[in-house]
Structure 1
Amino acid sequence: MLQKIYDYVDERLDITPMWRDIADHEVPEHVNPAHHFSAFIYCFGGLTFFVTVIQILSGMFLTMYYVPDIVNAHASVYFLQNDVAMGVIVRGMHHWGASLVIVMMFLHTLRVFFTGSYKKPRELNWVVGVLIFFVMLGLGLTGYLLPWDMKAYFATVVTLQIAESVPIIGDFTKALLAGGEIVGAATLTRFFAIHVFFLPAALLGLLGAHFIMIRRQGISGPL
């Protein structure tokens, strides 16, 4: 059945050459754990992407139940955890994955730095990677408020105070994020929009550029 579907699509779109180009792409020997024990450090990028995919899929599930307003936000999270089948597991995956993806990305960044993989001709990819790191931090920051409990509320208050202390653009940044003088309904709505629409769009664009450059330039050499 699957072969018939593949043949049907391939006959019309000629996807086999593209698929073979990906499947037949050779991986350098120094990133093969079977040949070099140190090759495991080259897995951090792939693991980061794997956790990112889990975050995207679990986040899509959560948005089917989450209500982004100050009256129903916390109640919708409570309902998700206690009344939706597997809801507590999916939310737990998303919650802990938010921290795990930062850890994995930090380890990946260290690997790139200490192996000199940021040097010519990969400087631009290093810049894109740093931008991805900041987007991930932004996702963690904006997602923290969404449960709308006391911890999330006061953590966001502190975050906005820090943003306000930035020279020149501090007041503008706080007003843009908070939507007013206090952390309220406008703040929750803006954080939800940034978390679900703006930052994921930026992340997908940056990841696409990251993977294209890796494909063009290849995996960096050993130490």
Structure 2
Amino acid sequence: MLKSAYEWIDRRLDITPMWRDLADHEVPEHVNPAHHFSAFIYCFGGLTFFIVVIQILSGMFLTMYYVPDIQNAYKSVDYLQNEIAFGQIVRGMHHWGASVAIVMLFLHTLRVFFTGSYKHPREFNWVVGMLLFFTILGLGFTGYLLPWDNKAYFATKVGIEIAASVPFVGDAIATFLQGGEVVGAQTLARFFALHVFFLPGALLALLGAHFFLIRRQGISGPL
């Protein structure tokens, strides 16, 4: 069945050459764990991408039940955890996956830095990687408020106060994040929009650019 469907699509779109080009791409020997134990440090980027995919899929599930207003946000999360089959597991995956993604991305960034992989001709990809890092941090920060419990409220308030301390533009950043003078309904709506629409859009665009540059320039050599 699947083979017939693939052949039907392939006869119309000729996708086999593109698939072969991806599947047959050679990987340098120094990133093969079978040959070099140190090759495991090159796995952090792939692990980060795997976790990001889990975050996207689990987030899509969560948005089917989440209500982004201050009257029902906490109730919707409580309903998801206690009434929906596997809801607690999916929310747990999304919650802990956010922290794991940041840790894996940090380790990947350290690997790139200490192996000199950011040098010529990969400087632009380093910039893209830094933008990815801050985008994922932004996703973690905006997602933290969404359960709308005491911990989320006061942690977000502290985070916005830290942002407000930035010289010259701090007040503008705080006003933009809060949507007003205090953390309230507009803040929750704004964080939800950033977390579900704007930042994921930026994330997908940056991931596309990152993978394109990796494919174009290849994996960097050993230290």
Distance 1:108 1:194 in 2: 25
Distance 2:13 2:33 in 1: 36
Q: Aligned pair count?
A: 223
5 Å-filtered alignment, 1:62-211, equals: 62-211=62-211
Q: CA deviation at 1:163?
A: 1.2
Q: CA deviation at 1:211?
A: 0.1
Distance 2:179 2:48 in 1: 33
User: Gapped runs of 5+ residues in structure 1?
Assistant: none
Q: Does 1:49 align with 2:49?
A: yes
Give per-residue Cα distances to partners, 1:132-158, cap 9 Å, x unaligned.
Answer: 000000000000000000000011111
Q: CA deviation at 1:200?
A: 0.2
Residue aligning to 2:30: 30
Distance 2:65 2:71 in 1: 14
TM-score (normalizing by structure 1): 0.99
Q: CA deviation at 1:194?
A: 0.2
User: Gapped runs of 5+ residues in structure 2?
Assistant: none
Tell me the amino acid that sits aligned with residue 31 of structure 1: V
CA RMSD, Structure 1 to Structure 2 (Å) = 0.5
Q: CA deviation at 1:216?
A: 0.4
Distance 1:2 1:151 in 2: 48
Tell me the amino acid that sits aligned with residue 86 of structure 1: F
Tell me the amino acid that sits aligned with residue 126 of structure 1: W
Tell me the amino acid that sits aligned with residue 106 of structure 1: F
Percent of paired sites with the same residue? 77
Q: CA deviation at 1:13?
A: 0.4
